Amino acid sequence: MCKFCYKHGDGKRWYLNERNLSVKLAKELGYEQWELDHWKLIDKVYGDAAKMLADVINDPNLLEPTKKMIEDMIQKDEGRERVFPEGHMGQVITLEEAKKIVEIAGDVYRVMCPCRRMNRNEKVYTCMPLGLHGETVEGYVDHAPKGVERLTVEEGKAFLDECDEKGLVHTIAGTPLPLAFAMCNCQYPECIALRPRIDFDIKHFLKGHYVADIDVDKCIGCGKCVTRCQFGAVNLQVTLGKAHINQFKCFGCGVCRAECPEEAITLIPRESIPTLREEW
């Protein structure tokens, strides 16, 4: 279990602790104004982030100074307050964990994904605000043509199944931790949360609590898991004709598992493998 879970989980993972999903905690943190500002400024915030990532990709000379600037903002607190007090803003989760979050949180909400809107001009409704985050956007519907849709627990879980079938990675976001205010179902390279971690190895977003494991006896070498993995953790071994998972690169999302026709891939706890216990 990661140190944030020990600190904020009350014996559970931080995002499965009922208190951390509650409207009560959000209000105790004085989050009402932050919520309003978030939705009012969402286009600018995500637009600026998307532009910065594009600029860095197009000009390799910007990579190291940009990476250092972001890491200083997130990881270091020398002489200034960190943007994310805990040093990160969220984590990859599994389908099962995402459904559990819906069960704990109760009714959830669905809004347009700002990442894909800004990067692809695609109007895809895959973001799921929780608690006060959802209640606030429900009163501020002009941010998207369809506004916001409230989903029951069963509707929310069914929608997560749809996202899993499409190969979308489930993540939970929280700022300031331990408040878990939204679940995202997104993909690389559009996802503004995942892309800095994948492209620049900026550890503002953590790997999940699981890693994928493959049963080579069941694997038929179809390669579907290879095309599904967004983290470069899966490849096809030419000599054996079997898939291989690099667990050091694996984020534990389970997207490869969902695509395997032989059910050869399972998820195992990260902490069960000594060399991976601190690989977040």
> Domain limits at 125?
3-200
Q: Is 28 domain-assigned?
A: yes
Contacts 24+ apart (CB under 8 A), 215-223: 215/264, 215/265, 215/266, 216/240, 216/242, 216/264, 218/262, 218/263, 218/264, 219/243, 219/262, 219/264, 220/261, 220/262, 220/264, 222/261, 222/262
Do 194 and 144 share a domain, yes or no? Answer: yes
Q: Is 275 domain-assigned?
A: no
C-alpha–C-alpha distance, residues 12 and 217, integer Å: 34
Do 195 and 243 share a domain, yes or no? Answer: no
Q: Is 166 domain-assigned?
A: yes
Domain boundary among 148, 180, 200: 200
Do 188 and 228 share a domain, yes or no? Answer: no
pLDDT in tens, 229-242: 999 999 999 899 99
Do 178 and 231 share a domain, yes or no? Answer: no
Element (H, E) at 128: strand 128-129
Write down the pTM of the prediction: 0.91
Do 229 and 187 share a domain, yes or no? Answer: no
Q: Is 174 domain-assigned?
A: yes
Q: What is the mean pLDDT of each run of 10 residues along the chain (280 residues)?
A: 82 93 91 84 83 80 81 64 69 97 93 88 92 84 64 96 96 86 93 88 90 97 95 94 97 96 97 94
Do 225 and 172 share a domain, yes or no? Answer: no
Q: Is 14 domain-assigned?
A: yes
Do 138 and 225 share a domain, yes or no? Answer: no
* Residue 253: DSSP 8-state: -
Do 129 and 240 share a domain, yes or no? Answer: no
Buried b (16+ CB within 10 A) or exposed e, 178-198: bbbbbbbbbbeebbbbbbbbb
pLDDT in tens, 183-195: 999 999 899 889 8
Q: Which residue in the block uniquely carries the two structure tokens 């014996």?
A: 11
Do 244 and 167 share a domain, yes or no? Answer: no
Any idea what the CATH number is for the domain that residue 245 is in? 3.30.70.20
